[in-house]
Chain A
Amino acid sequence: MKNWLSTIQANKRLQAIMIGLYIVVTFLSLYLAQKSVIAFLLLLASLLLLYFTTFSNRIKWLVAGLVMVVLLPFAASQGEAYQSYMEVATLVGIYIAMALGLNIVVGMAGLLDLGFVAFFAIGAYTYGIFATSQANNFMPFGHYPLSGGSFWVFIFIGCLAAALFGILLGIPVLRVKGDYLAIVTLGFGEIIRIIFNNLDKPVNITNGAMGLASVQPPKLFGLDFMYPSQFYYIVLVILLVVIFAVRRLEYSKIGRAWKAVRENEIAAQSMGIHLVRTKLMAFAVGASFSGMMGVVFAAKQTFVDPTSFTLLESITILVMVILGGMGSVPGVILGAALVTILNLQVLTELTNWLNQLSLNGVISIPDALSPAKMQRFIFGAILILFALYRPQGLLPAKNPVFKKEDLTDTSGHPPMNAGVQKEGAQHVHLDS
Chain B
Amino acid sequence: MSILTVKNLTKQFGGLVANSNIDMDVEKGSITAVIGPNGAGKTTFFNMVTGVYQPTSGDILLNGESIVGLKPHQVTRKGIARTFQNIRLFGAITVLENVMVGMHTHLHGGLFSTIFNLPHVRKEEKEARKEAYRLLEYVGLESLFNEEAQNLPYGAQRKLEIARALATQPKVLLLDEPAAGMNPKETSELTKLIYNMREELDLTIILIEHDMKLVMEISEHIVVLDHGEKIAEGTPDEIRNNQKVIEAYLGKGAAATAS
Contacts and interface: CB of A to CB of B under 8 A. Distances in A.
A314 to B, nearest CB: 25
Given A260-B90, A271-B102, A413-B127, A419 B195 contact: no
Given A259-B92, A399-B97, A409-B130, A270 B109 contact: no
A272 B76 contact: yes
Contact of B111 (A273, A281, A400, A417): A281
Contacts of B175: none
A368 interface: no
A254 interface: yes
B48 interface: no
Nearest to B50: A270
Contacts of A274: 73
Nearest to A408: B133
B135 A269 contact: no
A253 B125 contact: yes
Contacts of B97: 256, 259, 399-400
B90 A272 contact: no
B89 A422 contact: no
Contacts of B90: 259-260, 263-264, 267-268
A367 interface: no
B96 interface: yes
Interface residues of A, number: 50
Interface in B100-141: 100-107, 109, 111, 114-117, 121, 123, 125-135, 137-138
Contacts of B92: 259, 262-263, 397, 399
A121 to B, nearest CB: 24
A295 interface: no
A412 B201 CA distance: 23
Contacts of A285: 111
A264 B89 contact: yes
A76 B109 CA distance: 43
Interface string B14-54: 00000000000000000000000000000000000010100
Contacts of B125: 252-253
Contacts of B107: 253
A266 B84 CA distance: 10
Interface string A238-281: 00000011001100111011011011101111111111000001
A407 interface: yes
Interface in B78-107: 81-82, 84, 88-94, 96-97, 100-107
Interface stretch (A154-162, A199-207, A424-432): A424-432
Interface in B199-238: 200-202, 217-218
Contacts of B103: 416
Given A399-B97, A402-B96, A420 B73 contact: no
B169 interface: yes
B104 A245 contact: no
A273 B101 contact: yes
Contact of A271 (B135, B168, B196, B202): B168
B72 interface: yes
A407 B133 contact: yes
A281 B111 CA distance: 9
A415 B72 contact: no
A223 interface: no
Given A400-B94, A419-B202, A268 B114 contact: no
A428 B200 contact: no
B4 interface: no
Nearest to B88: A267
A271 to B, nearest CB: 5
A399 B137 CA distance: 21
Output the residue of A256, A272, A407 with the most chain B CB within 10 A.
A272
Given A253-B107, A270-B82, A408-B130, A245 B115 contact: yes
B129 A402 contact: yes
B217 A430 contact: yes
Contacts of B200: 419-421, 424-425
B106 A416 contact: yes
A179 interface: no
20 contacts: A245-B115, A259-B97, A263-B93, A268-B101, A269-B52, A270-B75, A271-B101, A271-B102, A272-B102, A273-B73, A275-B73, A399-B92, A401-B146, A402-B96, A424-B200, A425-B138, A425-B196, A428-B195, A428-B196, A430-B218
Closest 8 CB pairs of A and B: A272-B105, A407-B133, A267-B88, A263-B90, A269-B72, A272-B76, A419-B201, A252-B114
